[in-house]
Amino acid sequence: MHEMKSRNIAPTQRLRGEFTVPGDKSISHRAIMFASLAEGESRVFGLLRGEDCLSTLGAFRSLGIEVVEKSDNELIIHGRGLAGLQEPTDVIDCGNSGTTMRLMSGILAAQPFFSVLTGDQYLRKRPMGRVIDPLTSMGARFLGRNAHTQAPLAIDGGGLEPVEYHSPIASAQVKSAVLLAGMQVDGATTVYEPHLSRDHSERMLRYFGADLESFPGGARVNGRVQLTGREVEIPGDISSAAFFLVAGLIVPDAEILVKNVGVNPTRSGVIEILQQMGGSIELTNQRELSGESVADLLVKSSQLHGIEIGGELIPRAIDEFPVISVAAAFAEGVTTIRDARELRVKETDRIAAMCECLGALDVNIEPLEDGMRIVGGELLTGGEVNSYGDHRIAMSMAIAGLGAAAEIKISDTACTETSFPGFWELLTLVSGGQEI
């Protein structure tokens, strides 16, 4: 459990700096998982050392995988192949990480042994039925709280059949869980989804040698194809970069370069949204690393304006909406966010939380069932807000504080360690400010 910390953020007039942000969280989780399931040694560079990814690392150690921490930047993972995992002797603690629990459900459902997944008080409240339903249709056997939809989840693994699954939601976690189960059974498993969700699993599984094809509307994997250990370089996390993109746009005298950021098209919705709002964000030095698109992002202060956001942009920017709503508070006119009901089942109900936090700073913001409506362009007052233990809410409110009229006090800020260790130090550095 995190200790309750609070921090005060003072307004700033100037931002400068060239820096990298920690490794991409989604790609870090998958690098650990797929390297563990591959045959032989993998070297992973730039892994995010946040608590969520460390939960995934701990899970695979408890399944018999040897991991050597070569340096802060390099991990060596000794993979044991699809059939090499061992039955754990204790429950597996996924901490606060929904990605760990949902993807592990897919991996463990196909393994011929018993396992139990649990997590912290927040994760145990989150819905797991969305992955349990398709896995159950493959023959998986789960027991869990609340009619088998919440952790702790007991898994009696093995004996699965391939499936064609039509997912009602665009969710990379659902898609990945089904593909990871399908990868371990004979035959082809196909997942269809209403919009393209992030495709890190497909890219990296192909990089490790899986027989997997993506097509408009979904992905298909042929099972029992052995993965082979690889070198993986993990780019900076666009979800972490997003906080500094918005900071660079709303602070009056700002110019920052965020280097080596993953700009996978299924994740770069936040860049397009901020550019549509009038934000000056330039992609330079574009290249490819371990199957992922990477670029340096040059950001300058900009006059933002309100826009309508919905449809296919939503799954491509789902984690960035807390900080997008901060950008909207500084933009002239009205911003409407729709089709984002998914935000209600994140670490917190992020629609309710952002409406409460920004409302406390006198922003004209109202919740919608599937999003929010924000009238921007008025000065944000100072005040006190609570992150509700949600790392993205805490960091978004810190960015709001940089452009507010007076100091903002944010309570419960230790949660930022789950995805962005060093966030507060970096914020201090680029704002040239006092220790935050």
Nearest Cα to Cα of residue 263 among 233, 296, 307: 296
| Chain centre distance of CA 172 | 10
- 317 SS3 class: coil
Provide the 10 A C-beta neighbour count for residue 258.
26
**Which residues on adjacent β-strands are paired with residue 373?**
336, 366
Query: What average pLDDT does the structure give for the chain?
Result: 95
Query: What domains lie within the chain, and their CATH numbers?
Result: 6-23+235-430 (3.65.10.10), 25-233 (3.65.10.10)
Please give the pLDDT value at position 1.
46
Q: For 51-207, where are the E strands, in sequence order?
A: 66-71, 74-80, 92-93, 114-118, 141-144, 150-156, 164-166, 188-192
Give me the mean pLDDT over the 35-55 stretch.
96
Residues with a known catalytic role: 319
Residues 316 and 267: their CA atoms lie apart, in Å, by 5
Give me the mean pLDDT over the 235-254 stretch.
97
Provide the 10 A C-beta neighbour count for residue 208.
25
Provide the 10 A C-beta neighbour count for residue 384.
14
Residue 111 tokens read as 């393994």
Nearest Cα to Cα of residue 361 among 387, 383, 394, 335: 383
Q: How confident is the model at residue 11 (pLDDT cuts 50, 70, 90)?
A: very high
pTM: 0.87
* Per-residue pLDDT tens digits for 249-296: 999 999 999 999 999 999 999 999 999 999 999 999 999 998 899 999
| Chain centre distance of CA 138 | 27
Give me the mean pLDDT over the 404-414 stretch.
95
Give me the mean pLDDT over the 34-57 stretch.
96
Residues 95 and 82: their CA atoms lie apart, in Å, by 25
Place of tokens 């004209």: 364
Residues 367 and 381: their CA atoms lie apart, in Å, by 20
Residue 434 has pLDDT above 60, yes or no: no
Q: How confident is the model at residue 348 (pLDDT cuts 50, 70, 90)?
A: confident
Q: Per this entry, what is the length of the chain?
A: 436
Please give the pLDDT value at position 304.
98
* Lowest mean per-residue pLDDT among 36-50, 340-354, 381-395: 340-354
Residues 303 and 261: their CA atoms lie apart, in Å, by 24
Residues 211 and 225: their CA atoms lie apart, in Å, by 7
**Which residues on adjacent β-strands are paired with residue 215?**
218
* Per-residue pLDDT tens digits for 92-138: 999 999 999 999 999 999 999 999 999 999 899 999 999 999 999 99
Residues 230 and 208: their CA atoms lie apart, in Å, by 6
Please give the pLDDT value at position 436.
43
Residues 393 and 54: their CA atoms lie apart, in Å, by 21
Residue 242 tokens read as 């997003």
Residues 6+ apart with CB under 8 A from 232: 27, 31, 35, 42, 43, 44, 45, 204, 207, 290
Residue 433 has pLDDT above 70, yes or no: no
Nearest Cα to Cα of residue 319 among 269, 367, 275: 269
Please give the pLDDT value at position 3.
60
Nearest Cα to Cα of residue 37 among 239, 216, 207, 237: 207
Provide the 10 A C-beta neighbour count for residue 62.
18
Provide the 10 A C-beta neighbour count for residue 180.
28
